Structure 1
Amino acid sequence: MATVHYELQKVRNGHYLFTLKGRNGEIILASEMFCSKASAENAITFARYNAPDEHNYELKRSTDEHPYFVLRGKNEQILGLSGPYSSESDARRGIKAAMECAATEEVMDLTS
């Protein structure tokens, strides 16, 4: 069984992003891209702090009507987005998983 953790990655054009992975190894939420590793690491800290509060989540629908959720910080900045779900109840379960898992201190640094 996988452990709950963040994965910090270096992606195209030298940018960085993080994902939060659940116990099943699937991505719960993914961040935007950041210009520096330090900014991505700070965003993980903000996600840890803001994720346990259900008021920081917003359920939305994509253009093809699939539900997904957004995690926002206290300043309304987007900290992470989920992938699309097949139903609103599944998206709500995803929010619950994010609330439970985001406090993890485990970070896998894959930037090397």
Structure 2
Amino acid sequence: MFELKKKGEQYHFVLKAGNGQVILSSEMYNSKASAKNGIASVQKNCSNENLFERKTAKNGKFHFNLKSTNGQIVGSSQMYAAESGMNNGIESVRKNAPGAEIKEI
């Protein structure tokens, strides 16, 4: 499920797995429409393996970004202790995002 939240005058969303764990977080958007476009971009682009950017932080933890076809980051993961955790997170996005409902908080 996507949770669309308003913080102050801006909006952002998270994608949660079936167990309620956040697997992807967005940047802040100036309008609800822009945030909804970001959700649509995640749903569209998550099937393309090449749009996932795998990264290793300076502390040795792993994380990923999902980019749109224009190269802009539309969502970022949490930090994972192991590379396998990051890969499982990517698979969870690929599995859960396409048909996920949007819940406004």
Query: Quick check: TM above 0.5?
Result: yes
Q: Distance in 1 between matches of 2:39 and 2:76?
A: 13
Backbone CA RMSD of aligned residues: 0.9
- 2:72 matched to 1:77? yes
Letter aligned with residue 44 of structure 2: Y
Q: Distance in 1 between matches of 2:55 and 2:88?
A: 14
User: Secondary structure of 1:92's match?
Assistant: helix
Structure 1, unmatched stretches of 5+, are none
1:44 aligns with 2:39: yes
Is 1:67 aligned to residue 62 of structure 2? yes
Letter of the aligned partner of 1:10 in structure 2? K
Quick check: 1:18 aligned with 2:49?
A: no
**Matched residue pairs, number?**
105
Structure 2 Cα separation of the partners of residues 83 and 59 of structure 1: 12
CA distance in 2, matches of 1:92, 1:105: 20
Mapped to 2, the partners of 1:102 and 1:94 lie a distance apart of 12
Could you tell me the TM-score, scaled by structure 2's length? Answer: 0.96
Contact kept? 1:68, 1:83, Cα under 8 Å: yes
Structure 1's consecutive aligned runs of 4 or more residues displaced over 2 angstroms after TM superposition are: none
Give the partner amino acid of 2:3. Answer: E
